[in-house]
Structure 1
Amino acid sequence: MRRKNKRIMVTGGAGFLGSHLCERLLEQNKEVLCIDNFYTGHKQNVIHLMDHPGFELIRHDITFPLYVEIDEIYNLACPASPIQYQRDPVQTTKTNVHGAINMLGLAKRTGAKILQASTSEVYGDPMIHPQPEAYWGNVNPIGLRSCYDEGKRCAETIFFDYHRQHGVPVKVMRIFNTYGPRMHPNDGRVVSNFIVQALQGKKITVFGNGNQTRSFCYVDDLIGGMMRLMNTNDTITGPINIGNPGEFTIRQLAELVLEITGSRSTVEYLPLPQDDPMQRRPDISQAKRLLDWQPTIQLREGLERTVAYFDRLLDDQPTSVPMKSALLVD
């Protein structure tokens, strides 16, 4: 018998996206079980939730089975930036594949609905623009990014096989570049790196000529789309793109960050990393039609909120945050 208030498990719940999701679920009077091994997540992201009566935190690596009773699972656990997922590529693949198998096994046993946080990286360096869900992608299966790209593609495969073979109710969303408060200042994502570099008066590191394009979705919009997908009827499985279709070059992003921060930093151009996609923009037609969802927060507004967050974060730290080179992907 289901509980009056759903008990919802969020893997990767102490991460950037996971912590925002936990917060939003608690606002809706759900019981939240936050699972994280703290490889890239941080307890500080959820410390303000620890006294909430509906919140529980368990330190656990989902590459190992977990035996709990839950009603829904949001599977967000996985390093999501190149610096993080290339640090231990074998573990990244295990998290994507073994983690998906373990969470699907839990969903099968408990009858829980389960959502997989997939990624726009399944499209690789796309030959179709913008990218619709029907596009199969252009991915290097043996490159430096493959642990993440192919790991997420394999996770999608396993999700749909469990759905077809065992009747597990699944949801798959493909997340496009997302930004906002609680991003780690040194995780290698382009928005956080540009902001921190600008606030510290360091050179803005742009890879290639800066003409690569990305679409940037503010975290509040993304979480809204994620929850809307989970709460649709079970016939809507996805995959569904969730992101902001506004398209900007990396050079435009750098210029906007410099304008908002008022920084005098200059831009430094560096060689393009292996397999870095040249274009990335979601076709969100399905999200509009099936979920009645589209983003509402535009890039300038979202960046202003994110700059304010990092400004406070850096002011609270006794020394400047050491920066690594910025890569241009999720």
Structure 2
Amino acid sequence: MASTPNTTNDEKPNKIETNPIFISADSLHSILSHQSLIQHFHSSLPRISTSTIQTPIRQNYAVSQSSSLLLMPSWSSSTSLPYMGVKLVTHFPQNSTLNLPGIHASYVLFSSTTGQTLASMDGTVLTLYRTACVSGLASKILARDDSKVLVMIGAGALAPHLIKAHLAARPSLQKVIIWNRTMEKARILVENLRACVEYNGVCFESNELLEEIIEMGDIVSCATNSEVPLVRGEKLKYGAHLDLVGSFNHNMRECDDEAIRRGRVFVDNEVALIEAGELVGAFERGVITKDDIAGNLLELLKGEKKGRRESKEVTVFKSVGSAVVDLLAAQLVYEIHIKQL
């Protein structure tokens, strides 16, 4: 009897369809912790090679006189990071008059192998976590091991994330003092943090005397849109670590020239040298030169540059953000989410 032909081997395999996942803000909060993201950055960033990852300079388009659209792409050809991603950000500072956030963002993650869309996620929340955790990682490297007091300047959306990231990076912290131009916002943030059971051993308070509390800070973290320096360098205590997050253009300054002069300055990436108002202004005024910048975050992690050298040294870390850490944060979110399905 003739055998029945095996047609299965002659047929083309069915195409596997992958439907993109949407990861909401609530899901992001349940997936991420500041501790886990700091650790992910700590272990992943040193393995990144410039030959396998591409990060073009972000594109910034003026939508109106005060509003803008930013595009931040990054892609990797590494088998350990088989992703492409792009963050779309809108900056509408006038939203404060409408009681709305000034920044909104979406993040889209693709496969760098097939180009398929894998996920879209709330880019605003993703940015809050990644920005804070970059600062937390820098604090872990540059702040003193015996840091006790964190001063938080600003009480906006980023402030609670920065506080939690610094607490995760520096468990020695015992007190957090919050200042904001509108002190009621600082007081509300204090109450919210006091309600977090995981921080029962930490004292949270607000204080309107900015210069006095700066003198108390072992770590001083700034997240404002200020165009007038808020941190006077002469007020920083010996051994302080200054974390500057807010400014991203030449008109914005969160500290004065003396803070830059006193400190060993590190940056998250080289873009800070051309974007950050504190640094660009200091270069123009001859306070320091670009050669005086002590290193970037990747060089610190790889051990190519030395961080804190002695206990009385003042360190300064200026971050402006990058698409690389966006991609790494999105990777962690996506891979944890997939495992939970």
Q: Which structure has the bigger radius of gyration?
A: 2
* TM-score of the two chains, using structure 1 as the length reference: 0.34
Greater length-normalized contact order (CA 8 Å, ≥ 6 residues apart): 1
Q: Which has the higher strand share?
A: 2
